[in-house]
A and B are shown apart, each in its own frame.
Chain A
């Protein structure tokens, strides 16, 4: 679960991390009122999108007074902002965060991230923070320093003083950094975060270290032990997801919309990725990524199949299933049968199916018995080719039914 900046800052403040005073708003007039309430000599108005490099793409604006805050907020709200970290179409700005501007003597960088190779969290720090840090680190990797963290008794321990020294902080600044690093490590573990990044981390004129931006992601698999984050989760679910992707999630299905015209249904993420690769190699364009989780029932699968049928771009559907111990082919065949029966009277889309593994033969009987008309693929590759050929044919006429007449 990725959080917005304003949510991340609110959580981090609970761990003693200094953040500027700010308020999140949905309208320009509220932005103006927020600025009046905050009362600062200068303000920042920040588009709340969950991606980096906002500043370089006009998503962070400065304003001298409350009136200017309202103007900048109006310019941002309702816009889409695209950066190197967003999908091509960008992300919509539904909220802006109005903050007091902090005068920074220096911009630092700090992050806690999981190193997949060692299986340990790493605390990263740099004396040179800012939006283009990635490009600068590419040229000079030494500007980023890191220490490994060890999880012990519900918190994370590491040589925080060493890290402060390595980014050449001394005296009171080093002590402040050491304390901040410890707080970030504690927040990371306590919140079950999968990512925590402070960039820039301002060394303010008054000597404080202030988190000017914050990126925080919480591990979805750990939400069961964070009753306190339930409100945030509900908000995130409503705020973020494509309604179709969200409905799929409710049905134990991972669904991601894509731009092509061939709907794809596969069990398992790896097989789904491999199927998209084959489809593209064969000259096809996938309309979606779909991974049916092993926990999905035939009714869940039926809903997933309907989501594909309901996508108007879809001109052919490719089903590639390898039944395993957790989910046999017949469960998926049953789901397809239910979906097709529910859609009687809808438009006809050619369906190509390859099934192998546990209960593949029985699954073909299920398809037969439920009257699903489909093109059989003798192997995944054969099915891929047939799906590509089907999608390239003239758009099929709107026929009465997907179900064979005898049913």
Chain B
């Protein structure tokens, strides 16, 4: 099995009739993903890509039995789309939209509190479970089914790591892009928990980068769970250009936890193997799984 998605996953696409969604939904259908309908307010009752279109998420869920929603709505209306899906009780919401306003995401996170919905993203490349389902915009060219679970904050770097894992003869159970935005849904730490519980995942790769505290939180979770599965982490941005800083407020919150060194130290202390750079992450995982 994979995490987050499975053969029983039935997907609706919010913003189905848009140009980007039309292109990517075609790819996802070709990949074998069970897409059962779409939502575009005002276009309910029509069909697009031979799929039924509904005015609301609630209606789409009722009519199709969907249990996942992929949000392809432009940034001006993406938050409202996510909140609608959460309100309709959709268990999995994946949002690929880039440039969603920060405070909109605060409202979405408030909307998630106390619900059973898992939100992936926004600004996520999506979730890919090889030979099961593709919910997102990622490259599938180098993906292969296997036992490595990958959770990452960056799309194109993940594609490179996926290719390395496949070249190392391992394949992936699931690849999850949690998205690059400061405020997002699913965390790296939650991905670790899901991968640890997943029988088909034999090893875990975390692809992090500077900024935020996702890596530090993941380190805490790993230290608590002490999983038997090997975990390899890459933290990108050791040599990032220095940027201007405004004021002190960032230093009083989680920005303190933003540097590559801080993240690497936290993960290493939790027993994670640190990839020196993006060069040999796949090989490191192969060696770790072989018990070298």
A→B interface (CB under 8 Å): 2, 50-52, 84-88, 91, 111-122, 124, 133-134, 137, 144, 146, 150-151, 189, 192, 194-195, 197, 199, 215, 217, 219, 221-222, 224-225, 256-258, 266-271, 273-281, 286, 289, 294, 321-326, 356-358, 360, 379-381
Contact = CB atoms under 8 A, between A and B. Distances in A.
Interface in B178-237: 180, 182-184, 207, 209-210, 212-213, 217, 234, 236-237
Interface string B87-103: 00000000000111111
Interface of B: 20, 24, 27, 75-76, 98-107, 109-110, 125, 136-142, 152-160, 163, 180, 182-184, 207, 209-210, 212-213, 217, 234, 236-255, 276-280
B209 A270 contact: yes
Contact of B246 (A85, A87, A323): A85
B106 A119 contact: yes
Contacts of A116: 182-183, 212-213, 253-255
Given A115-B253, A222-B102, A273-B240, A326 B137 contact: yes
Contact of A357 (B163, B182, B238): B163
Contacts, number: 229
Chain B CB within 10 A, most for which of A51, A114, A273: A273
Contact of A133 (B136, B183, B248, B255): B248
A380 B279 contact: yes
Given A86-B244, A119-B109, A358 B99 contact: no
Contacts of B234: 274
Given A84-B245, A221-B75, A256-B241, 9 more contacts: A113-B250, A116-B182, A117-B212, A120-B110, A215-B247, A219-B102, A270-B158, A326-B20, A381-B278
Of A50, A222, A274, A381, which is in contact with the most chain B CB atoms at under 10 Å from its CB? A274
B223 to A, nearest CB: 17
Nearest to B109: A119
A144 to B, nearest CB: 5
Nearest to B153: A270
Nearest to A49: B244
Contacts of B109: 118-120
B209 A121 contact: no
B240 A271 contact: no
B190 to A, nearest CB: 13
Given A124-B249, A270-B180, A273-B237, A192 B103 contact: yes
Contact of A85 (B101, B209, B245): B245
B248 A199 contact: yes
Contact of B253 (A113, A133, A267, A358): A113
B251 A134 contact: yes
A322 B137 CA distance: 13
Task: Report the 5 A-B pairs with minimum CB-CB distance, sorted nearest first.
Answer: A270-B154, A268-B156, A119-B109, A270-B157, A222-B101
Given A122-B253, A133-B248, A197-B247, A281 B277 contact: yes
Contacts of A266: 156
B247 A52 contact: yes
Nearest to A138: B251
Given A133-B248, A281-B277, A87 B157 contact: no
14 contacts: A84-B245, A113-B249, A113-B252, A116-B213, A116-B253, A197-B246, A270-B180, A277-B277, A323-B159, A325-B27, A325-B138, A325-B140, A381-B278, A381-B279
A237 to B, nearest CB: 16
B102 A194 contact: yes
A271 B240 CA distance: 12
A52 B102 contact: no
A358 B138 CA distance: 9
B278 A119 contact: no
A270 B254 contact: no
Nearest to B251: A134
A322 B159 contact: yes
A364 to B, nearest CB: 14
